[in-house]
Structure 1
Amino acid sequence: MASKETINVETSIDKSVEKVWEFWTKPEHITKWNHASEDWLCPSAENDLKEDGKFVYRMEAKDGSFGFDFSGVYKEVKPKKKLVYEIEDGRMVTVIFSEEDNSTTIKQTFEPEDENSKEMQQEGWQSILNTFKKYAEDQN
């Protein structure tokens, strides 16, 4: 069972919160940024963006050696402000969106799992956030 400790990651994106929210929540965008490294991909994403709505993101190594579904249920949805969801293993994640001067900061707080080091988990989640930032800033 995961502890109630939390890990935080964050980034700032030079886009409005409207655009950041769209890129974060729409499946056609999620599949383009949701990976921690270039040797992984997200071939499919389903996102029922409402309280008690479910999401499923398929994660796969590009070489086909490994894959898994990352899924959960939304507990709170405040458009362009906040998402709270429970991952299928019972851990909680909170994502806060805040805008200032046409720049949006995303802060993610999540409960770590017990299998991998906290440092590795923080690096992995931060890497996905960095990939999101690059994707979002490259969009028109």
Structure 2
Amino acid sequence: MERTKIRVTTTIAAEISKVWDYWTKPAHIVNWNFASDDWHCPAAENNPVTGGKFKYTMASKDGEMSFDFEGVYDEVIPEKKIAYSLADGRQVTVTFKKEIRKTKVTETFDAEKMHSEEMQRKGWQAILDNFKHYAETT
């Protein structure tokens, strides 16, 4: 069955090497990987190589809810592309495009059926916006 694909994007005022490091290193991931101020990412494990795995704990700050966002990397081309499969079988591709003193990051992901496409787009875009803010201000 064909899944609906959703795309979110941003352009970050930072060199691609910094963007790549901030995207892939757990010490940075925990600082930006959440969609709103009442959530956080208290733990992150990441092995960004083809066949490697990742697991990010997403949790509400009040302790009421948490879940692990995890998957396996299908393809990793440093500073260019990451493709991975989530635990539920959905596919995600992240591309990094070098521009003059900027980096464009685009995520394309298979929608899930539990939430509306618009809600998913807004949530993933909010996380990407947090990443942009973190990468540009630290």
State the TM-score, normalizing by the size of structure 1: 0.97
Instruction: Output one character per residue of 1:7-36: Cα deviation in whole Å (capped at 9) or x when no partner.
Output: 000000000000000000000000000000
Query: Once the 2 structures are TM-superposed, how far is the Cα of residue 3 of structure 1 from its aligned partner?
Result: 4.3
| Residue 110 of structure 2 is aligned to residue 111 of structure 1 | yes
Q: In 2, distance between residues paired with 1:94 and 1:70?
A: 15
| Residue 52 of structure 2 is aligned to residue 48 of structure 1 | no
What is the aligned-residue RMSD (CA, Å)? 0.8
Q: In 1, distance between residues paired with 2:124 and 2:48?
A: 21
Aligned residues: 138
Can you give the 5+ residue segments of structure 2 that lack an aligned partner in the other structure?
A: none
* SS of equivalent residue, structure 1 residue 11: strand
| Residue 71 of structure 2 is aligned to residue 72 of structure 1 | yes
Q: In 1, distance between residues paired with 2:124 and 2:91?
A: 14
Q: Which residue of 2 aligns with 1:136?
A: 135
Give the counterpart letter for 2:21 in structure 1.
E
Query: Once the 2 structures are TM-superposed, how far is the Cα of residue 5 of structure 1 from its aligned partner?
Result: 1.7
Query: Once the 2 structures are TM-superposed, how far is the Cα of residue 4 of structure 1 from its aligned partner?
Result: 1.9
- Pick which of 59-68 and 2-11 moved more: 2-11
Instruction: Output one character per residue of 1:54-111: Cα deviation in whole Å (capped at 9) or x when no partner.
Output: 0000010000000000000000000000000000000000000001101000000000
* SS of equivalent residue, structure 2 residue 51: coil
Q: In 2, distance between residues paired with 1:111 and 1:100?
A: 27
* SS of equivalent residue, structure 2 residue 125: helix
Taking the TM superposition and a 5 Å limit, the aligned residue runs for 1:90-109 are 90-109=89-108
The answer to whether the Cα contact below 8 Å between 1:3 and 1:112 also exists between their aligned partners in 2 is no
Q: Which residue of 1 aligns with 2:30?
A: 31
Can you give the 5+ residue segments of structure 1 that lack an aligned partner in the other structure?
A: none
Give the counterpart letter for 2:121 in structure 1.
Q
Q: In 2, distance between residues paired with 1:40 and 1:46?
A: 18
Instruction: Output one character per residue of 1:104-123: Cα deviation in whole Å (capped at 9) or x when no partner.
Output: 00000000000000000000
Give the counterpart letter for 2:88 in structure 1.
D
